[in-house]
Amino acid sequence: MLTIPKTELLVHPLCLGTNIFGSNADATQSHAVLDAYAAHNGNFIDTADMYNQWVPGHIGGESERIIGSWMKARGNRAAMVVATKVAKLDGRRGLSAKNIFLACDESLDRLQSDYIDLYYSHEDDASISLEETLGTYAQLIAQGKVRHIAASNFTATRLRESIQYSEANNIPAYIAVQDLYNLVDRKTYEGEMAQTVGDLGISNIPFYGIARGFLSGKYRPGIEEVDSKRAAGAREYATDKNFAIIAAMDKISASHNNAPLSSIALAWLRAQPTVSAPIASARTVAQLEEIIQIIKLTNAEVEELNALS
């Protein structure tokens, strides 16, 4: 277990992503994955109000509802650390006070919970003042509906401005970011954002930790068919450079009792100085068993992967 910087939140080193709950995984499958995660002492669940409105016939909130029904059935809300998000759901877009208050109550209702442990601004909203947005979060924290706030898909400049505003006005500040970061997609995060996160003493809880499944090792040169609804997205990473990374991960896996490549990819993320708990999702219990294994890479292994990627 690890403590997220700037908080008292003690979480499992794998944050379970649930963007596929209610779409690629139905309620029964999702509950089975959640049961398997909890059986490994997993307690950190990531969702959003807009998961998964992109699926035909869906309106968003499906993932939150599945998580809420599972926690209600298991009676384990107090043992879980639940993160959700506001700003990108159709009909609940943006970071105005009115929208945040309404979206928070709706998320709480779907989650069947009195509070949200970590509430993200899912994207920035420059049309609303920092005073309004951050002041609203401060009220929700004072009311006990939210414990901590974080930011996703912000620029480094806006992140710094937001935290400086909170500190100057003695109100709660963003304690983490959730940005795209993985072994084969480093340029999005590394550089100004990673530097800013480090300077501020917060951490990244990165999404797409296994690059939409590419870093599971299931995608190889010459293999045309993979049983995954994310196959099209994963194949975007199918380059000679990235296949060389997979080959290096194969060798590293062999030195760690043939650990799943997904666990190697997540171990590389945990070795990065500004990362706390990376996010990965699973459609089946078998996939969960791959990502839940916590591996510690040697410095030499981290450097080899750094050089290749």
Q: Please tell me the distance from the alpha carbon of residue 183 to that of residue 181, in angstroms, as a whole number.
A: 7
Q: Where are the domains of the chain?
A: 2-308
Q: Where are the beta strands (DSSP E) in 38-77?
A: 44-46
Give the whole-angstrom CA distance, residue 18 versus residue 282.
8
Alpha-carbon torsion (303, 281, 4, 107), positive or negative:
positive
pLDDT digits (tens, 9 = 90+) for 175-209: 999 999 999 999 999 999 999 999 999 999 999 99
The two structure tokens encoding residue 140: 């929700």
Q: Residue 95: is its pLDDT beyond 80?
A: yes
What does the pLDDT read at residue 226?
57
Query: In the CATH hierarchy, which fold is given to the domain comprising 2-308?
Result: TIM Barrel (3.20.20)
Q: Residues 226, 219: contact at Cβ < 8 Å?
A: yes
- With H, G, I as helix, E, B as strand and everything else as coil, classify residue 258: coil
Residue 228 reports pLDDT greater than 70? no
What is the pLDDT confidence band of residue 239, given thresholds at 50, 70 and 90?
very high
Residue 61 clears pLDDT 60, i.e. is over it? yes
